Amino acid sequence: MKSVILSGILLAMLIALPANVAFAIGGTLILGVETDQGRLDYSQNPSLVGTNTATLINEGLLIPDDKNQAAPALAVSWNVSPDARTYTFKLRKGVKFHDGSDFNAAVVKWNVERVMATDGALFGPIFSRLLDSMETPDDHTIIFKLKVPSASFLGTFFDRYDNMFVIQAKSCFDADGKFIKPIGTGPFKFVEWKQNDSLTLVKNENYWNPELPKVDKLVLKVIIDPSSRLNALRSGDVHITRKLPIEAVESGVAKKPNGYRVDTSIGQTISLNMNINYAPLADVRVRQALAHALNREDMNLAVSFGIGQATHQYYPKGMPWHFPEIKALEYNPKKAKALLADAGYANGFDVTYTVAQNNQELVEAANVFQAMMAEIGIRVKVELLDEATAIGKAFSGDWQIESFGFGMFSDPDTLYLKAFYPGGIYWAATTGSNNVKAITAGLDAGGAEGDPAKRREIYKGITQDLVDHAPWLFMFNYPFSYGVSDKVKNYAPLANDWYYAGGGIPYATLD
């Protein structure tokens, strides 16, 4: 009897609660983002903000889980043949694009064919290199047959720190193939884009997961300055933001501020990329000299206050693809000067370092690098540009040194095939088409090797080649930071990802 009475009291209390108590559904969630979208055609958008947004409007066949492993999205199951040459996906039934058209195997096939035929499409080179044919035996099955075995092909569909292959509706494009607007299957629908100001999305009422999203509207406000983003969070002008001033992260993690919370996760490895079309950098001795003049520990302390981690490998310590036995070219300015003299640059040379000004960590790293290189006679000019212009300049080839941040993909091929393999989408834009034959051969072998232990040995060799040939210099891993208003519930980011299996923006609610 007592339990019945208590149940009645609890029910009465719940009925009496106001409708807008915590975990209420609806409302407008406002995000403060560090840069503009750049492009809304997400098959060609290499920016972090743009590709994070892509996963709210568009979806891939798979989605990462909280361990960055494959989970179902538009595909409900998948199978990889023993020889890693046939990938079969069973697709989700009853899914509609935002324009009301059907999602099916034919439209997946059309998307793959479109990026293969489109210059500048992020996944065109990967599909063109690997894909032999596609079969669609029914509306909800697609089979990819590969030219060669590939142990990493699955990552194309979910491994997405800065991009993944998303499925777009045919109506995104006009009859001439010109992009009109983003139309996907995701939890939010596109409403309006005000360049360099904001992007507005609304709830997809017909989303295949009827429980999501929780809010009615999503606004992404561009706030370039990190301190201004923090102030917007403090004032309540935004509910969630990221890439906070590192000093605020340091204090915020140690002691929770009033009205919001701050946290970090393993973030992005900051790279220094060198264009071999600029004569001094074509000489491996010069690139090695820069490596010997780089004090990564000091740079990490100066830029991240030691919260980050100095690293000479793409994957920092603690990550599965880190190789502790591979050592950096040691910090040795005397050796750096000797290498420069041997290459014919005893008096140094002038070089321009292009960087996106909205990324605090990139700007500060450029300034620290400038000071370090001055010690060996290299005169570095730091050129600050907005992110879209910096990325455009990289792809145009009109640069000498540049810097980007790359987050942690679950498989190294997801980055390496784009950056270090001839024809990869980043290859010319981040190395000036530096064909290091040992790396190319290693990627061919690593992609085809199905045995995990043997494959690891191959990528250990690739990592050593990256150190020795120095097409890039990996400098330090900068932590992802984010601030979340106490009004936001049920939101936990995954390495700054906005949507993943079981979490992210679609799950967020407002008090």
pLDDT digit string, tens, across residues 319-332: 889 999 999 999 99
Band of the pLDDT at 20, cuts 50, 70, 90?
Answer: very low
Q: How confident is the model at residue 155 (pLDDT cuts 50, 70, 90)?
A: confident
Q: Which of 105-114, 173-182, 340-349 has the lowest mean pLDDT?
A: 173-182
What pLDDT does 3 receive?
39
Cβ pair 266, 496 in contact under 8 A: no
Domain map of the chain by residue range?
57-170, 266-479
- Topology, domain 266-479: Dipeptide-binding Protein; domain 3 (3.10.105)
Average pLDDT, the chain: 89
50 pLDDT above the threshold of 80: no
Q: Which residues of 15-32 are buried (b: 16+ CB within 10 A; e: fewer)?
A: eeeeeeeeeeeebebbbb
How far, in Å, are 39, 409, 411, 505 from residue 499 at the CA level?
19, 15, 19, 6
Asked whether 58 and 44 are in contact (CB, 8 A), the reply is no
- pLDDT at site 152: 87
Mean pLDDT of 70-97: 96
Q: 15: pLDDT confidence band, cut at 50, 70 and 90?
A: very low
pTM as predicted:
0.81
Write down the pLDDT at residue 486.
96
For residue 318, pLDDT over 70 is answered with yes
User: Has residue 452 got a pLDDT over 70?
Assistant: yes
Q: Which of 45-54, 113-122, 228-237 has the highest mean pLDDT?
A: 228-237
Is the pLDDT at 474 greater than 80? The verdict is yes
402 has a pLDDT exceeding 80:
yes
Mean pLDDT to the nearest integer, 472-492: 93
Cα–Cα nearest to 188, from 155, 156, 220: 220
Share of the chain above pLDDT 70, in %: 92
Higher pLDDT, 189 or 43: 189
The reported pLDDT for the residue numbered 358 is 81
CATH superfamily to which 57-170 belongs: Dipeptide-binding Protein; Domain 1 (3.90.76.10)
Region 71-100 average pLDDT? 96
Provide the terminal-to-terminal Cα distance of the chain, rounded to the nearest Å.
35
Confidence of residue 22 (pLDDT cuts 50, 70, 90): very low
Q: Please check whether residue 358 is in contact with residue 386, taking contact to mean a CB–CB distance below 8 angstroms.
A: yes
Query: What's the pLDDT score for residue 17?
Result: 41
pLDDT for res 51: 66
| Beta strands at 217-222 and 188-194: parallel, antiparallel or unpaired | unpaired
Distance, CA of 347 to CA of 370 (rounded, Å) = 16
Using DSSP, state whether 477 is helix, strand or coil: strand
Q: Tell me the C-alpha distance between 486 and 210, whole Å.
A: 26
Question: Band of the pLDDT at 433, cuts 50, 70, 90?
Answer: very high
* Of 378, 380, 20, 37, residue with least CA distance to 200: 37
pLDDT band at residue 8 using 50, 70 and 90 as cut-offs: very low
DSSP state of 92: P
Q: What is the CA radius of gyration of the chain?
A: 24
Q: Please give the full DSSP string across 216-237, using - where no structure is assigned.
A: SEEEEEE--SHHHHHHHHHHTS
pLDDT in tens, 354-396: 999 988 899 999 999 999 999 999 999 999 998 889 988 998 9
Task: pLDDT band for 47, please (50, 70, 90 cuts).
Answer: low
Mean pLDDT, range 148-168, rounded to an integer: 81
Rounded Cα distance, 260 and 241, in Å: 11
Helix or strand (DSSP H, E) at 211? none
Q: Is the peptide bond before 506 cis (omega within 30 degrees of 0)?
A: no
